[in-house]
Structure 1
Amino acid sequence: MSRIVVLGAGPMGLAAAQRAASLGHQVDLLEAGDKVGGMAAHFDFDGLSIERFYHFVCKSDTPTFALMEELGIADKMRWVSTSMAYYTHGKVHKWGDPISLLLYPDLTLIEKIRTGLQMFLTTRTGDFSRIEHLTSRQWIEAGSGKSVYDKMWKRLQELKFYQFADQVSASWIATRIKRIGNSRKSIFQEQLGYIDGGSETLVEAVADDIRRKGGLIHLNTPAHRVAIRGGRVTAVETVGKEYAADAVISTVPIPLVNNLVPDLPQDWKDKYAAIRNIGVVCLLFKLRKSVTPHFWLNIVANDIDIPGLIEFSNLRPVGETVVYVPYYMPISQPKWAWTDQQFIDEAFTYIKRVNPGICDGDLIVAKVGRLRYAQPICEPNFADKLPPVQTPIGGLQVADTCYYYPEDRGIAESIRLGRRMAEGVAI
């Protein structure tokens, strides 16, 4: 039995701690917040238990299914026929299947053929290494055409990545398209999943299993410093306490690592510092009316400053209409300093633009959540930029969501990498 300290009780930290405990190690899981789950944590939204940040399940998320089976909650998985759409030129147009593509009014026939072919081939591609050197813009323009990028992608990229919009990896975008594109009941019907009771069902089941196997979860316990002696980890220091460690698994955001591990070699610190992130201000609305029949609505309009709406209640039935509105942006943007009410007022104006049948009286309640490190900026050849998970310090492994590349952030990838890190502990 070895003493393993895991930093961060998001899905990756929970998966690492649970696997380490299953392997017989003594586990301490340290979490700065007041509950486990990280971005998948729930909160009380006017009587509704729901994720602070939206999550959904795709049919390729095998690590999630395997862990649910192990925990005895596989029967909690639910599948729903869902749809995607675009709002552009003042109207909502369904998207994501051959008929919707043919009926889409803003593309020429040639543009539709090129777009459909590129998306189809992407869902059938097993390896995106051949486009790893390209930006998403270069790849889309080469396949679908510059006009298609300008009409359907440019505004979305700019509203998510701002000054980094033309630096996003083609592999990263293609992997996202493949994941969604292959989560289907048929070529005509998208199908996404949710866990009955929300992500909290899985999060709490993992936490319970950690405790059942002797692991300890310490909430409101931010790590202050990873102590090193003789080139190996010896402990994790917190305010007023020290947790002895033969190994440390860090899953906290990479921008925090250099301060947390001051004994890292300078070249490693430089590599971590070079990984850029943007933040998110994620709004959650409870409404009396549905906005659209779609789960995911992309918005392409120069006078609307959000990339889309996620009508979560079109996936997981929760009673009233529940809509997420994400504002991704670098925290250096002046808008980051807006008050919660400023964001709510602007976003609700956009919701009413999309559906003019919604009025002020249809807003029941709204909530705003913020994360400073929400989305890594994955440029071409991003994998070459990432230091190895195992650091040059004995017993110390470091990773966060950027290590899922070319996959995007998601619970399945958190489980996969967290378990791998626990199995990779070398004492």
Structure 2
Amino acid sequence: MKRVAIIGGGAMGLAAAYHAVKAGHRVTVYEADAVAGGMAAHFDFDGLSIERYYHFVCKPDQATFDLMEELGIGDRMRWVPTSMGYFVDGALHEWGNPLALLRFPALNLIDKLRYGLMMFVSVKRKSPGNLETTAAKSWIERWCGKRVYDKLWRPLFDLKFYQYADNVSAAWIWTRIKRVGSSRRSLMQEELGYIDGGSETLVTALVGAIERLGGEIRLSAPVSEIVSIGGRVTGVVAGGQEEAYDAVISTVPISLIPDLVPTLPAASKAAYEAILNIGVACLIFKLKRSVTPHFWVNITDNRIAIPGIVEFSNLRQTGDTIVYVPYYMPVTNPKWAMSNEELLAEAFGYLKLVNPQLTDADLIAARVGRLTHAQPVCPPGFAAHIPPVQTSIAGLQIADTCFYYPEDRGISEGARYGRLMAAAIDDPSVWG
């Protein structure tokens, strides 16, 4: 038995704690927030328990299914036929299947054929290969042409990554295409999943299992320092008190690591500092009226400064309409300084542009959640710059969502990494 501290009570931290305590270790989870779950945590939204940041499940998310089976909640998965839309120049169009592509008015026939071929090959492709060292812009233009990139893709990249838009890895966008493209009932029908009761169902099951097996979860308990002596981790400082541990797993954003682990070598600190993150202001609206019939709508309209909306109630039954409007941006962007009220007013105006039947009387409730480290920026060649999970300090493992690359953030990758990090407590060769 080892004394193990896990910093961060999101999906990865909770999964690591569950597997570590199941292996017989004495585990304590430190979570700075007042609730467990991280980005998967719920809140009370005008009487509805729902995720602060939207989540959906795809059929390739095997690590999620395996964890749910272990926890005895495998029967809580639900699958729903869903659809996508594209709002282009003031008009909403169906998107995401071959007939929708053929009907799409914003592309000519050659553009459509090239685009369709790119999607087909991307879903069938087994590994990123040379996409790892290729910019998404170059990859998309090579397949579809500059006109398609400028019309359909550039606005989306520009409104998510801003000054980094032209230098995002093709491998990163490919995995997103493949994950969603592999979650289909048929060529014509997308099928996405959700956990009955929301991601809180999984978080509650994890917390319950950890505590039943003897683990401890401390909420509102930020760690201010990870302590090491002679190249080996010895404990953590929380609430001004140092506590001894034989192993520490950190799952907090790695930009926090240089201050959190002062004994790290300068080269390691520099590697963490070099990885960029952008923030998100994630707006949630509860409405009396549906905005579109689609789950996800991409937007390319010069009047609308967001890349898309997620009508979550077209996936999970929530009673009233629930729409997420994510504003991704570097936190240095002047727009980040806008008040929540300003963002909500702007975004609701955008929803009314997408559906002109929507009125102020349809708004029931609205809320904004903000994260300063929400999305890692993954340039071409990013894999070579991700530090090892097992650090140069014996007994200390560090990872956050950028380690999932080329996969994007998600509960499934958190579950997978949590299992691996727990296994590496006793067997560091897990990481090679």
Q: TM-score range by the shorter chain?
A: over 0.9
CA deviation profile, 1:150-188 (whole Å, cap 9, x unmatched): 110000000000000001000000010000000000000
Q: Where in structure 2 are the equivalents of 1:73-112 lying within 5 Å? A: 73-112=73-112
Q: Tell me, in whole angstroms, the C-alpha distance in 1 between the residues paired with 2:333 and 2:64.
A: 35
Q: Tell me, in whole angstroms, the C-alpha distance in 2 between the residues paired with 1:151 and 1:143.
A: 14
Q: Tell me, in whole angstroms, the C-alpha distance in 2 between the residues paired with 1:158 and 1:424.
A: 39
Match of 2:220 in 1: 220
Deviation at 1:239, TM superposition (A): 1.6
- Amino acid of the structure 2 residue aligned with 1:338: M
3-state secondary structure, aligned to 1:4: strand
CA deviation profile, 1:323-349 (whole Å, cap 9, x unmatched): 000000000011111111000100000
Deviation at 1:302, TM superposition (A): 1.5
3-state secondary structure, aligned to 2:160: helix
Match of 2:279 in 1: 279
Deviation at 1:131, TM superposition (A): 1.7
Q: Tell me, in whole angstroms, the C-alpha distance in 2 between the residues paired with 1:174 and 1:197.
A: 30
- Amino acid of the structure 2 residue aligned with 1:60: P
Q: Tell me, in whole angstroms, the C-alpha distance in 2 between the residues paired with 1:242 and 1:317.
A: 46
Deviation at 1:243, TM superposition (A): 2.5
1:116 lines up with 2:116 in the alignment: yes
Whether contact under 8 Å (2:294, 2:311) holds in the other structure is yes
Q: Where in structure 2 are the equivalents of 1:86-165 lying within 5 Å? A: 86-165=86-165
Q: Tell me, in whole angstroms, the C-alpha distance in 2 between the residues paired with 1:220 and 1:326.
A: 26
1:383 lines up with 2:346 in the alignment: no
Deviation at 1:240, TM superposition (A): 3.2
Number of residues of Structure 1 aligned to a counterpart in Structure 2: 427
Whether contact under 8 Å (2:89, 2:302) holds in the other structure is no
Deviation at 1:354, TM superposition (A): 0.3
Q: Tell me, in whole angstroms, the C-alpha distance in 2 between the residues paired with 1:241 and 1:316.
A: 43
3-state secondary structure, aligned to 1:209: helix
- Amino acid of the structure 2 residue aligned with 1:380: P
Match of 1:4 in 2: 4
Deviation at 1:241, TM superposition (A): 2.5
Match of 1:247 in 2: 247
CA deviation profile, 1:197-232 (whole Å, cap 9, x unmatched): 000000110010000110000001000101111110
3-state secondary structure, aligned to 1:132: helix
3-state secondary structure, aligned to 1:137: helix
Deviation at 1:275, TM superposition (A): 0.2
Match of 1:266 in 2: 266
3-state secondary structure, aligned to 1:323: strand
Q: Tell me, in whole angstroms, the C-alpha distance in 1 between the residues paired with 2:61 and 2:426.
A: 28
Match of 2:67 in 1: 67
Match of 2:293 in 1: 293
CA deviation profile, 1:347-400 (whole Å, cap 9, x unmatched): 000000000000110001100000000000001111100110000001000000
- Amino acid of the structure 1 residue aligned with 2:98: P
Whether contact under 8 Å (1:395, 1:426) holds in the other structure is no
Match of 1:319 in 2: 319
Q: Tell me, in whole angstroms, the C-alpha distance in 2 between the residues paired with 1:33 and 1:175.
A: 30
Match of 2:350 in 1: 350
Identity %: 59
Query: TM-score scaled to structure 2, two decimals?
Result: 0.98
Gaps of 5+ in 2: 428-432
Deviation at 1:426, TM superposition (A): 3.8
Query: TM-score scaled to structure 1, two decimals?
Result: 0.99
Match of 1:185 in 2: 185
Whether contact under 8 Å (1:329, 1:336) holds in the other structure is yes
- Amino acid of the structure 2 residue aligned with 1:321: T
1:235 lines up with 2:235 in the alignment: yes
Deviation at 1:13, TM superposition (A): 0.2
Give RMSD over aligned pairs: 0.7
3-state secondary structure, aligned to 1:390: coil
Deviation at 1:133, TM superposition (A): 1.2
Deviation at 1:273, TM superposition (A): 0.3
Q: Tell me, in whole angstroms, the C-alpha distance in 2 between the residues paired with 1:26 and 1:201.
A: 24
3-state secondary structure, aligned to 2:162: helix
3-state secondary structure, aligned to 1:259: helix
Q: Tell me, in whole angstroms, the C-alpha distance in 2 between the residues paired with 1:293 and 1:243.
A: 53
Q: Tell me, in whole angstroms, the C-alpha distance in 2 between the residues paired with 1:242 and 1:274.
A: 29
Whether contact under 8 Å (2:132, 2:383) holds in the other structure is no
Q: Tell me, in whole angstroms, the C-alpha distance in 1 between the residues paired with 2:374 and 2:342.
A: 21
3-state secondary structure, aligned to 1:5: strand
Q: Where in structure 2 are the equivalents of 1:47-66 lying within 5 Å? A: 47-66=47-66
- Amino acid of the structure 2 residue aligned with 1:171: A
Match of 2:368 in 1: 368
Gaps of 5+ in 1: none
